[in-house]
Structure 1
Amino acid sequence: MSTAKNFIELCYWCRVGDTENVDRLVSTGVDLNGVDEFDNTPLFLASLCGHEDLVNLLLQRGAVCDRDRYEGARCVYGALTDTIRNILLRYDISKAVDVKQPFATHISLQLQDSTNTPFDIFFSFNGQPLLKAHRFLLASRSAYFANKLNGPWAGKQIIHMPHERFKAAFEIILKYIYLIPTLHDIYPEDYKILKAICLKLQLADFYDSLNELCKTRDSSERAHLMAESQFLFTEHARIQMKNFVKAIVSQKREYKEAPNGIKSVEGDITCCSSFPDVLISLSDEANQKTLIYPSHRSILMRADYFRIMFHSNFSESTHYSQHRNLYAGDNVELPVLKFPSKNDDVACVILNYLYYDETEVPSRVAMDVLTAADALCLDRLKTMAAVSITQSSSLLRLTTPFDILSAGWDTRSERLEHYAAKVIARDLVHYGKHPKLKEAILESSARIKSRQETDTIELVDDIRYYLLRKYEIDIDDVHDLEAEGFSETLMRPELVRYSSDIQLLDSILKELNLEA
């Protein structure tokens, strides 16, 4: 989908108030501060239509509400409710909103939380306290670092830097690389040395932002520029990590079982240019092979499943420890983790999400991604997989609403439960003959935790609701139908068809000896 189409779709979902679809589109890098043909920003549309949760989401993802500018003032004065107006008024443009993005937050935490992220390279300035970093992240964010790490710095753990006076500036550069907002902390006298370092390290976007800030004196303009720059830094980093994941996937290896563990048939994976510190194992049963992906512990820990595995005493963690030496490369021994999927395409979707927050899930693998994301405790990706399932026009040719309903129950996805009920209601005559409908109703009945007189069967309730939507009638029409009798409604075809579907549904319930 093109950028322009993404923005048009974003504006539509902002008017409707669908936070899940907005979050999905934000991950494509769409400009949150653009305007449509009527000069409306997504934030203005969300605030005008009264979608409080969506307003909060847009602000967290990088939407700018500068009250000193036309767009920001429109948002504040056009807000539908006082609550939304207060949210916008409390919003401080000088804050680094982009760090609240899931992707930026995780990258930033890798530098700030050493307990979860094992560093593998250190920079020393004349014996001063070392600055810590990750090889793979430096290589992905800077061509200069990639060349150094694959050349003169290969195999070195401590890099001795030439001048101690560069330490403070280099620390700012590291914060930029890890997406920690730092523009607000830079003093005017530091700009010259920072720009020189940016040129050497080939950090063009940071250099350009520093250049613009040097020429800007107005405090409001500077705040706006800093917020925009941080958003651009994040989007640039996502593109860089996207390219980095392509390299990871291209460096995967095919392995076969051997008496002494897993043996490579394509060469050593531990010395590849992505600098892995952990390997992911995927059993591709369809092609009867095992694939190994080079990966990084600090990125995998974005999934709670792996975080718990690395740090807990659960059986999964024990299993992980026992297999730390399952594969030994020429120089390095790396742990191997089993991936909860048997599909190479699913693994790529998961890696794309973990490394650069890609939430577009192809419908052809959405069901498998849903299951894998649930196993890995990736709730946001699970939601996006559910969105993909419900928006696919072709998926129902490959599966049934009953399979989707079952997946919804298994993964606790209400979106899929409602979608399955909507599909069934849309063609109840057809699905009413399907034996799985009765099985689904019985299972839904069994899912009621404590039966009371007022208990209903959730699936049946949902089908009845979507029958009302299908025929565009309301509950008052139903009450009139029950009071007047079927014969009085012959002049209203939609009520006749609705009554016919309800009778069909009631007959199924009667056959199952259920009252709902």
Structure 2
Amino acid sequence: MDTCDLFSSCRKGDVGRVRYLLEQRDVEVNVRDKWDSTPLYYACLCGHEELVLYLLANGARCEANTFDGERCLYGAQSEAIRRALRDYKQVTASYRRLDYYYSCLLRLLEQGIHSDVVFLVHGRSLRAHRCILGARSTYFAHMFDTKWEGKSVVVLRHPLINPVAFGALLQYLYTGCLDVGVEHVGDCERLAKQCQLWDLLGDLEAKCDCVLPSTVASKPGTRAKVLTIEPPQADPRLREDLALLADGALPPELRGGLGELPFPCDGFSSYPDVCFRVDGYSFLCHKAFFCGRSDYFRALLDDHFRENEELEASGGLLAITLRDVSPAVFTHVLYYIYSDHTELPPELAYDVLSVADMYLLPGLKRLCGRGLAQLLDEDSVVGVWRVAKLFGLARLEDQCTKYMAKVIEKLLEREDFVEAVKEEAAAVTARQETDSIPLVDDIRFHVGSAAQTCSAMEQAERQLRALEDLLASVGLDC
């Protein structure tokens, strides 16, 4: 079971394995074992400082004056770990997702993947994407439609444009964050005014009032002081701006369900460079986003799988036909790729999940898992559990077994549940007569952990006896 693997890896200090379990298998970072211990507690107790820092940065909880916080602090094996625990600031799951999204956008900027414009600023070359700059700034959108129209290289010679400040400005447009030396703050404010980035200007002025000149963070061992701007955890601006590119990529026939868009799509220049054809509809998209977010599309577009490729008659766009996906499902893929989010109706979760797995989009699979979790009832829980196992959705699988534990007495009468238990037993390689069955173990765990009062313990004992009777009736002992 993935949770057992997580606890074992935390005791060993295997950061790579823990990272895989949290980021790819979607195991809950604050899960508890039968001793009421968390992964962070074991990492602290075994003295694995790097792992402690990783867990704290990815949502592990250890608030002061709480059971978990005091226990981790007491068990910490080094002063460095205790210091990290005292400096703890809670990181939510939504912030973790934003961090992955941020990393993807930062790679687009730093590596210039499929960039279509280069800025030359006093000898410094900066690659960028017109679609991102246009979506994030009306000033850049206007300039690309007028003075810079058709230019792949833009030379900025004005003496007041500082290349370091301009690079920081691009970082802000791509990620919503900004890191710049305090000596260049004035140059950034000047550029923010010129580019009509009033939110950035306000953030710069507020940050300067709060931290300059005495408390700006600096790297140990250096004199260079850096001003850092980060968006609040719930700040939707970046996601909403880049969702405009998904709005613009939609075929005109499919825009009716969106309501009134914040711009006229027909006049919005998003500079697409690839056309995906889905069931006769044309989605005008951007290679940078699809390659940056999905290994599947990176192979499709960068490795030149040419069997489905052709040039559009108008505009010379590369056109690729995508099969085994409907326009409605691809629309959700589109919005996820551009904005890291999509409003997914639970009834579409199965179809989107299958496509997300095919397109190698683990984050979208997790969104689908949350949608499927809303469908849990006595009739559906076994089917959803099977889907969770098939697609490797560990958190959804755990939610299913937790729900099964709540209604176990009713499930014992259902044929689909009995078949699931038999299949789990048969799937254990070289299973001996008394070996455990993962599904049964998980249900037992949740039944026991939910019993906190005497009456609940009596109910739990009754439920476990009924489960044992079922196992005995089908010839299983575990």
Query: TM (normalized to structure 2)?
Result: 0.68
Structure 1 letter corresponding to 2:205: N
- Specify the SS of the correspondent of 1:220: coil
Of the three residues 194, 203, 207, the one matched with 2:201 is: 207
Number of aligned residue pairs: give it: 410
**SS state at 1:231 partner:** coil
Sort the Cα spacing of 1:77 and 1:49 in 2 relative to 1 into closer, same or farther, 3 A. Answer: closer
Classify the secondary structure of the residue corresponding to 2:175.
coil
Structure 1 position 382 matched with structure 2 position 378: no
Quote the residue 1:123 is aligned against: 119
Correspondences of 1:428-439 after superposition (within 5 Å): 428-439=408-419
| Deviation, structure 1 residue 106 | 1.1
Is 1:230 the counterpart of 2:243? The answer is no
CA–CA distance in 2 between the matches of 1:88 and 1:337? 55
Q: Shift in Å at residue 332 of structure 1?
A: 2.7
Superposed, 1:299-378 pairs within 5 Å as 299-300=289-290, 301-312=292-303, 318=305, 321-325=306-310, 327-328=312-313, 330-336=314-320, 338=322, 341-342=325-326, 344=328, 346-358=329-341, 362-378=345-361
Kept after mapping to 2: 8 A contact 1:248/1:293:
no
CA offsets per residue over residues 436-462 of structure 1, 9 Å max, x none?
A: 223323322332233345533322333
1:419-458 map, 5 Å: 419-458=399-438
> Contact between 1:48 and 1:79, CA under 8 Å: does it hold in 2?
no
State the 1:121 CA deviation. 1.2
Matched, 1:172 2:153: no
Matched, 1:104 2:102: yes
Cα distance between partner residues in 2 of 1:425 and 1:77 = 29
Contact 1:249/1:348 (CA < 8 Å) preserved in 2? no
Change (3 A) 1:296 1:91: farther
Which residue type is aligned with residue 150 of structure 1? D
Give the C-alpha shift of residue 137 in structure 1. Answer: 0.9
**CA–CA distance in structure 1, aligned partners of residues 197 and 354 of structure 2:** 39
The verdict on how the C-alpha distance between 1:231 and 1:245 changes in structure 2, with shifts beyond 3 A counting, is closer
Partner of 2:6: none
Following superposition, the deviation at residue 184 of structure 1 comes to 3.7
CA change 1:150–1:58 in 2 (3 A) is farther
SS of match in other structure, 2:230: helix
Q: Which of 270, 273, 283 is residue 293 of structure 1 equivalent to?
A: 283
TM-score, reference length from structure 1: 0.64
Cα pair distance change 1:132/1:500, threshold 3 Å:
closer
Q: Secondary structure of 2:229's match?
A: helix
CA RMSD across the alignment: 4.7
Question: What's the CA shift for 1:145?
Answer: 0.6
- Compared with structure 1, are the counterparts of its residues 90 and 426 closer, same or farther at alpha carbon in structure 2 (3 Å cutoff)? closer
Deviation string 1:359-397 (CA, Å, 9 cap, x unpaired) is 87553433334333322223344234324433x2x4438
Residue number among 155, 171, 181 corresponding to 2:150 in the alignment: 155
Shift of 1:136: 0.7
1:134, distance to aligned residue in structure 2 (A) = 0.3
User: Does the 8 Å contact 1:108/1:179 carry over to 2?
Assistant: yes
> Judging changes above 3 Å, is the alpha-carbon distance between structure 1 residues 253 and 148 closer, same or farther for their aligned structure 2 residues?
same
SS class of match (2:315): coil
Query: How far is 1:280 from its partner?
Result: 3.4
Tell me, in whole angstroms, the C-alpha distance in 2 between the residues paired with 1:77 and 1:91.
11
Contact kept, 8 Å, 1:408 with 1:414, in 2: the verdict is yes
- 1:417 paired with 2:406, answer no
Distance in 2 (CA, whole Å) between partners of 1:88 and 1:140 is: 44
Instruction: Kindly name which structure, 1 or 2, has the bigger radius of gyration based on alpha carbons.
Output: 1
Q: In 1, Cα distance between the equivalents of 2:436 and 2:72?
A: 42
